[in-house]
């Protein structure tokens, strides 16, 4: 990983020298007591004059940078706007941390986390640190010539001055665990498939054992033994063997039914015999974004020792054209016993998930099951690139996921699951076919998955639009977003921890 960031916590009264000094103001440009203190009268006057001449109005997500006056122990002053009182009331601390880290870039900075009416808790300050960490992420593993002055990527050092540094530091440890989970997910999504083939992917996941996660890896022979005919069909055109990786984090009560998270891990989706067109095919290295979110979440939960039982299961395959590929018109038998007529080998994700869902629900009897998958282009047509599609058989689980998405600012939108979608995948020759035609493509894909879910609350997140090729944000400048880790971590924290 490029850049990176070091974050420390000190009291509001602490002083240092050099680097940036960051203070915050609302749209009245008033400084807090702590900010006035570090700036002194000279500094405060300079800020007021510079604001006037630069027409800086303290609006949310605006900033003013000026050389520091001699009385202030810093090289540069950065004044960050927080907007109106209303803006400040719905302040997103993670975004603010990202914005601040973006302004500071690769420098060293002291950040005075205080403003008139400041009401941040230790957890808010921790969220600020999370945003700063995520902003500093860059993926330059394969650049042999490193840029050393890249604003977003070189190492930064932030000292956050806050009223209760001890409490903030404790809360920030958990946030750092979550940040590591997101970074892990981003790295996995950004890696090319010649490096991250199924066996290597499984090996990387097995490193979670260092955090106390139990990791079980099933190889092709074991999957054949179990009868995972759907997953195996997808994998059979690839020179690389598939893997099924099951992660278990037992932080909850012994014997308590787990929450199961399931991810699509297609390391590269060429479409297979129904091959995709060449334009943009390189993006299909990110077709394992659902699995990356699951792995990142398990990392986060273990790193912060979440008091919950959570299982992660990811089906890792490569979808390739070959003399041994599965083909349109093939009929395969899934682990559930249900048969599937293959219409299009590019609708491969649902075949992989069908077997993983079935295996997990019958082996672990989870209390709820959530799958994440870059499943359809149709969800991108429907919702765009800033919100994921949610399909579910359970209103309560849907509400919990929606709320966690709002809290983490990884938003989801519930989509319908009506009998017509299920009907669309009936097959002339088998129990079902793997596509339901052009209409409602994301919904017929969800209806397919539903046939592999019995009596358990289940939700499917179609993350094709949000997992990769992401809209740049204050906390993400990476192609692979690591989308879902913060949502799932939040979901567990708010609903499944004792
Ligand atoms: N991995 C793709 C979906 C996708 C598309 C993800 C674009 C991210 C960006 C999936 O396997 C796929 O190819 N789906 C097909 C299904 C169709 C053949 C029924 C699609 O969406 O076109
Ligand atoms: Mn496909
Ligand atoms: Zn795919």
Q: Does 140 share its domain with 225? A: no
Ligand 1 contact via 462 beta carbon (within 6 Å): no
Q: Does 43 share its domain with 93? A: yes
CATH number at residue 305: 3.40.630.10
Q: Where are the alpha helices (DSSP H) in 60-197?
A: 85-89, 93-104, 122-135, 165-190
Q: Does 149 share its domain with 261? A: no
The CA 66 to ligand 2 mean position distance, Å, reads 51
pLDDT at 147 over 80: no
Decide the pairing of beta strands 20-25 and 108-112. Answer: parallel
- Asked whether residue 491 is domain-assigned, the answer is yes
- Asked whether residue 122 is domain-assigned, the answer is yes
- Asked whether residue 397 is domain-assigned, the answer is yes
Q: Does 251 share its domain with 395? A: yes
Q: Does 339 share its domain with 306? A: yes
Give residue-wise pLDDT tens across range 395-444. 999 999 999 999 999 999 999 999 999 999 999 999 999 999 999 999 99
Asked which of 126, 143, 167 is the last residue of a domain, the reply is 167
Residue with tokens 């070959």: 322
Residue in 227, 306, 316 with CA at minimum distance from that of residue 263? 316
- Asked whether residue 172 is domain-assigned, the answer is no
Q: Does 303 share its domain with 431? A: yes
Asked which of 143, 167, 191 is the last residue of a domain, the reply is 167
Q: Does 252 share its domain with 297? A: yes
Residue in 150, 24, 498, 487 with CA at minimum distance from that of residue 294? 487
Token code pair at residue 420: 């017509």
End-to-end CA distance of the chain: 34
Asked which of 133, 167, 201 is the last residue of a domain, the reply is 167
> Does residue 329 come out as left (phi exceeding 0), alpha (psi in the -120 to 50 range) or beta?
left
- Per DSSP, 283 falls in state G
Q: Where are the alpha helices (DSSP H) in 55-164?
A: 85-89, 93-104, 122-135
CA distance 401 to 461: 10
pLDDT at 3 over 80: no
- Per DSSP, 418 falls in state -
Q: Does 244 share its domain with 339? A: yes
Ligand 1 contact via 464 beta carbon (within 6 Å): yes
Domain count, the chain: 2
Looking at every residue in the chain, the average pLDDT score rounds to 96
Decide the pairing of beta strands 458-462 and 388-392. Answer: antiparallel
CA distance 140 to 3: 9
Q: Does 159 share its domain with 202? A: no
Ligand 1 contact via 349 beta carbon (within 6 Å): yes
What b/e sequence results for 261-288 when a residue is b if at least 16 CB atoms lie within 10 Å of its CB, and e otherwise? bbbbbbbbbbbbbbebeeeeeeebbbbb
Which ligand approaches the C-alpha of residue 424 most closely? Answer: 1
Give residue-wise pLDDT tens across range 28-64. 999 999 999 999 999 999 999 999 999 999 999 999 9
Sequence-ordered list of residues with C-beta below 8 angstroms from that of 318, at least 6 positions apart, any chain: 193, 197, 198, 235, 238, 240, 242, 266, 267, 268
Ligand 1 contact via 328 beta carbon (within 6 Å): no
Taking the CA of residue 436 as reference, the ligand 1 atom at the shortest distance is: 19
Give residue-wise pLDDT tens across range 123-141. 999 999 999 999 999 999 9
Within 10 Å of residue 71's Cβ, how many Cβ atoms?
Answer: 12
Residue 76 annotated to the active site: no
Residue 365 annotated to the active site: no
- Asked whether residue 478 is domain-assigned, the answer is yes
CATH number at residue 106: 3.40.220.10
- Asked whether residue 157 is domain-assigned, the answer is yes
- Asked whether residue 286 is domain-assigned, the answer is yes
Taking the CA of residue 266 as reference, the ligand 1 atom at the shortest distance is: 1
- Asked whether residue 66 is domain-assigned, the answer is yes
Give residue-wise pLDDT tens across range 149-168. 555 455 789 999 999 999 99
Ligand 1 contact via 348 beta carbon (within 6 Å): yes
Stretch 449-464: mean pLDDT, rounded?
98
Ligand 1 contact via 465 beta carbon (within 6 Å): no
Taking the CA of residue 467 as reference, the ligand 1 atom at the shortest distance is: 8
The CA 374 to ligand 3 mean position distance, Å, reads 6
Q: Does 302 share its domain with 420? A: yes
Residue in 231, 266, 258 with CA at minimum distance from that of residue 434? 231
Q: Does 68 share its domain with 203? A: no
Stretch 323-352: mean pLDDT, rounded?
99
Taking the CA of residue 271 as reference, the ligand 1 atom at the shortest distance is: 13
Within 10 Å of residue 195's Cβ, how many Cβ atoms?
Answer: 12
Note down the domain range covering 139: 5-167
pTM of the model: 0.97
The CA 193 to ligand 2 mean position distance, Å, reads 15
Q: Does 113 share its domain with 230? A: no
């Amino acid at each position: 990983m490029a850049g990176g960031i070091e974050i420390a916590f000190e009291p509001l009264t602490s002083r240092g020298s050099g680097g940036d000094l960051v203070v915050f103001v609302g749209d009245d440009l008033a400084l807090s007591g702590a900010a006035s203190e570090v700036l002194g009268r000279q500094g405060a006057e300079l800020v007021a004059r510079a604001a006037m001449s630069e027409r800086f109005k303290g609006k949310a997500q605006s900033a003013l940078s000026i050389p520091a006056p001699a009385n202030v122990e810093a090289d540069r002053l950065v004044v960050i706007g927080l907007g109106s009182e209303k803006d400040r009331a719905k302040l997103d601390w993670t975004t603010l941390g990202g914005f601040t880290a973006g302004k500071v870039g690769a420098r060293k900075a002291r950040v005075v986390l205080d403003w008139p009416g400041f009401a941040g808790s230790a957890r808010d300050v921790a969220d600020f640190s999370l945003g700063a960490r995520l902003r500093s992420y860059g993926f330059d593993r394969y650049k042999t010539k490193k840029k050393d002055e890249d604003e977003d990527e070189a190492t930064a050092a932030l000292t956050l001055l806050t009223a209760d540094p001890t409490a903030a530091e404790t809360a920030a440890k958990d946030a750092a665990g979550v940040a590591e989970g997101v970074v892990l997910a981003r790295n996995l999504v950004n890696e090319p498939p010649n490096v991250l083939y199924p066996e290597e992917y499984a090996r990387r996941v097995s490193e979670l054992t260092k955090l106390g996660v139990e990791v079980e890896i099933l190889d092709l022979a074991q999957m054949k033994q179990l009868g995972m005919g759907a997953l195996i069909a997808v994998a059979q055109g690839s020179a690389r063997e598939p893997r099924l990786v099951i992660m278990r984090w037992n932080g909850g009560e012994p014997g308590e039914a787990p929450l199961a998270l399931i991810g699509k891990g297609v390391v590269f989706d060429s479409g297979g015999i129904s091959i995709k067109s060449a334009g943009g095919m390189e993006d299909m290295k990110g077709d394992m974004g659902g699995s990356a979110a699951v792995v990142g979440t398990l990392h986060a939960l273990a790193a912060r020792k979440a008091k919950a039982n959570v299982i992660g299961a990811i089906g890792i395959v490569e979808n390739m054209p070959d003399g041994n590929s599965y083909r349109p018109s093939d009929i395969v038998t899934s682990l559930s016993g249900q048969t599937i007529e293959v219409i299009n080998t590019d609708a491969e994700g649902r075949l992989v998930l069908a077997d993983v869902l079935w295996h997990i629900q019958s082996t672990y009897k989870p209390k709820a099951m959530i799958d994440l998958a870059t499943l359809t282009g149709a969800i991108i047509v429907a919702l765009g690139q800033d919100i994921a599609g949610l399909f579910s058989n359970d209103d309560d689980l849907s509400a919990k996921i929606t709320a966690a998405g709002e809290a983490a600012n990884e938003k989801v939108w519930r989509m319908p699951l009506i009998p017509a979608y299920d009907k669309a995948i009936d097959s002339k020759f088998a129990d079902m076919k793997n596509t339901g035609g052009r209409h409602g493509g994301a919904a017929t894909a969800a209806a397919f998955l539903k046939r592999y879910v019995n009596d358990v609350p289940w939700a499917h997140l179609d993350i094709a639009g949000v997992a990769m090729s992401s809209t740049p944000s204050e906390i993400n400048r990476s192609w692979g977003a690591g989308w879902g880790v913060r949502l799932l971590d939040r979901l567990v924290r708010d609903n499944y921890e004792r």
